[in-house]
Structure 1
Amino acid sequence: MFVKKLMKAKCVQVCVFFCCAICISYYAYMDQIFKNTNQVSIEIGEVHVVLNNTNHTHMILWWNQPKWIESFPRKCGYCSLTTDRSVFSKSSVVVFSLANGNIGSKPPVENIKRNQNQIWIAFSLETNVANSWNREYRNKQWKNMFNWTWTYRPSADIFMPYGKVSERLKPLSKNYSMIFQRKKKFAAWAVSHCNAHSLRDKFVEKMRMCLQNKSIDIFGKCGPLKVSSSEFPTLLNNDYKFYLAFENAFCDDYITEKLFANYNNDIINVVRGKSNYTKTLPIGSFINTNDFRNINDLVRYMIKVSENETLFSSYLIQKDRFQAWGNLKEQYQQSICEICQKLNNPFLKRKSIVNTEKELGQCIKPGDV
């Protein structure tokens, strides 16, 4: 009996010992968990402190800056631009111009040695057609190297169009009958890039063949007529009913300054390209060649508009509810500011672009000629 009581007492002692050991271990474990949790919270807080520092100064390096940008703004907010390659490793962003030379057949550093916090931007206001002479950025060494695109396409990370159209606070009011009466000439076309990929030269030639007692006057290097750039808008306003805003290439979203530069004039723009123009221009303010079965139908409709005061005026009335902006310097300034804003965003997205050529959009040979 005594032995049984002794064994029972020892069992109780053993149980108490193990219970205490378990409690001590559990406390130590939970204490470590709380410490680790606090440490994670501290580390996350420190990361957010860095990322939320919107006053951080960023250097944007132009690796091969186009000459036409040299006189443009070099600063926006806490970001400044430079062309000094010696600060490459210190730069937050490196911009490579795809349409210019000196980009290099391969990146300046291997991907494995690259600063992974640095953003590389592929810049181009030209199409794949125009960039065809420069194949450096198409080399396999450049794949997965760019993080953002900076182009004329709305899908780009930095969208820089050749111009924009916005609605006026108050539509213009004009004597449209007087405008119609004073215009005695049919259509004008200013062009200096001859034999373009879009076959616009052949298209205009066929248009002229369909005309009888009306004509299309061609100005610039590709035509017989000459006029200064300062005098051309006045000439359009006073004499012509249509302006041919034909692009040199049929590429996705490609609309150049030729449209925006003449949009505010008292003239109807006739557009031809691969872009969806209704996303850029108000319906009823322009004529799209793609809306017609053939060139003959297009010309017949243009003649009808040119001879009908009410129909002609309806285009100008609709157009005068809007205003075009085409200052490339201002567009560039806005793009730089957008880059700076993105760099100071705590939720900065840094992706990897596999095929830069694909990002510039598809270009095709038109089938309307």
Structure 2
Amino acid sequence: MNPFVERSDLVKAAKAEEHVDLNSTNVTHTILWWNQPIWVVPFETKCSNCITSTNRSVFDKSSAVVFSLADGNIGTKPPIENIIRNQNQIWIAFSLETNVQNAWIRDYKNKHWKYVFNWTWNYRPSADIFMPYGRVSERLKPLSKNYSMIFQRKNKFAAWAVSHCNTHSLRDKFVKNMNRRLQNHSIDIFGKCGPLKISKGKLPTLLSNDYKFYLAFENAFCDDYVTEKIFAHFNTDIINVVRGKANYTNIFPKGSFINTRDFKNTSDFVSYLVDVSENETLYSNYLKQKDKFQASFDIKEQYKQSICNICRKLNDPNLKRNTIFDAEEELGQCIKPNDV
């Protein structure tokens, strides 16, 4: 089954499983954060018979040690030489950022960190611990709305909320090219990279009421990299437009979004957006398909599930202890876009 798109009954079963003891023994597994990201601090510290810690003094007694690749203090070398380390201990390479975003950190990319990790924990479905920015599940009953009224009330073309300017994906340049080709329409830009300001809490309502499209453009073209942008606005009455390297049809229902890569050039893409914006049937079909599903993007919940997944693996009597050659390679390849 698609790792992103899950049926509602399976989601419920997975959540119920979180409350089941993973191991009936008295063993307690410690998962040590070697350099914990700041945003993790307020999250839960345990799952079943596993606890998380940031106290490096328990290093030798820990069942797993997590190294955050995107944060400082990882060290230019591992804390202990591979030849004398506890071979039953699992070392995990964690990152929710791409190698592009991690460019300023060189430590984990040097030769000393090769062949030391056993598991990966990131946004890629191939990771040992898969932690996406969000998930999509099929609704037990599709939403029923007055789609004609939704179409008629929208009086603005497209919106883009962005505060990270001049990115690797050249999305700023792509949007400028779009605006040059739009005659009777325009793209409203909110945030530090645009002239318009709005609070984060008010944005979903504004998009749902006034705008026909939302530009969910990634800051880098990297394998499987899909951040919260499209998940955050999936449940609103708006069509998401995506731009990135990921295979979006493996993540979101076909016909529920528009992908810039499906067009030969920017002119064809912009022309199609205009056609959809002016055709009630075309526009409504996207919303109807989207309303058969629902998205969640609670990073706290995703983190909790990941810790529990680590715990399950640690309790597995057939635990697999891999050897990762290069943590940088495991995050996938990033490319420069060729559409600008």
**TM-score for both structures, normalised by structure 1:** 0.85
Between the aligned partners of 1:154 and 1:329, the Cα distance in structure 2 is: 19
Change beyond 3 A, Cα 1:342–1:54: farther
Between the aligned partners of 1:53 and 1:117, the Cα distance in structure 2 is: 20
Between the aligned partners of 2:101 and 2:147, the Cα distance in structure 1 is: 40
2:62 to 76, 83, 91: 91
Residue 244 of structure 1 deviates from its aligned partner by: 0.2
Give the 5 Å matches for 1:188-337: 188-337=159-308
2:158 to 187, 200, 213: 187
Structure with bigger helix share is 1
- Which residue identity is paired with 1:190? A
Report the equivalent of 1:344.
Answer: 315
Change beyond 3 A, Cα 1:117–1:276: same
Residue 355 of structure 1 deviates from its aligned partner by: 1.1
SS in structure 2 of the partner of residue 225 of structure 1:
coil
SS in structure 2 of the partner of residue 263 of structure 1:
coil
Q: 1:165 touches 1:323 (CA, 8 Å); kept in 2?
A: yes
Report the equivalent of 2:41.
Answer: 70
Between the aligned partners of 1:224 and 1:189, the Cα distance in structure 2 is: 11
Give the 5 Å matches for 1:72-151: 72-151=43-122
Between the aligned partners of 1:264 and 1:334, the Cα distance in structure 2 is: 22
SS in structure 2 of the partner of residue 205 of structure 1:
helix
Report the equivalent of 1:44.
Answer: none
SS in structure 2 of the partner of residue 132 of structure 1:
coil
**TM-score for both structures, normalised by structure 2:** 0.93
Residue 53 of structure 1 deviates from its aligned partner by: 6.5
Between the aligned partners of 2:27 and 2:251, the Cα distance in structure 1 is: 36
Q: What is the CA deviation profile of residues 260-285 of structure 1, one whole-angstrom value per residue up to 9, with x for unaligned ones?
A: 00010000000000000000000000
Report the equivalent of 1:40.
Answer: none
* Greater Rg over alpha carbons, structure: 1
Measured on the aligned residues, the alpha-carbon RMSD in Å equals: 0.8
SS in structure 2 of the partner of residue 133 of structure 1:
coil
Looking at both structures, which has the greater relative contact order when contacts are Cα pairs under 8 Å and sequence separation is at least 6? 2
Moved over 6 A (4+): none
- Which residue identity is paired with 1:227? I
Between the aligned partners of 1:268 and 1:314, the Cα distance in structure 2 is: 10
1:170 to 119, 136, 141: 141
Residue 237 of structure 1 deviates from its aligned partner by: 0.7
Between the aligned partners of 2:25 and 2:260, the Cα distance in structure 1 is: 48
Report the equivalent of 1:57.
Answer: 28
Report the equivalent of 1:11.
Answer: none
Aligned residue-pair number: 318
Report the equivalent of 2:8.
Answer: none
Query: Unaligned 5+ residue runs, structure 1?
Result: 1-51
Between the aligned partners of 1:237 and 1:269, the Cα distance in structure 2 is: 11
SS in structure 2 of the partner of residue 71 of structure 1:
coil
Q: Percent identity?
A: 74
Residue 55 of structure 1 deviates from its aligned partner by: 4.6
Between the aligned partners of 2:26 and 2:280, the Cα distance in structure 1 is: 58
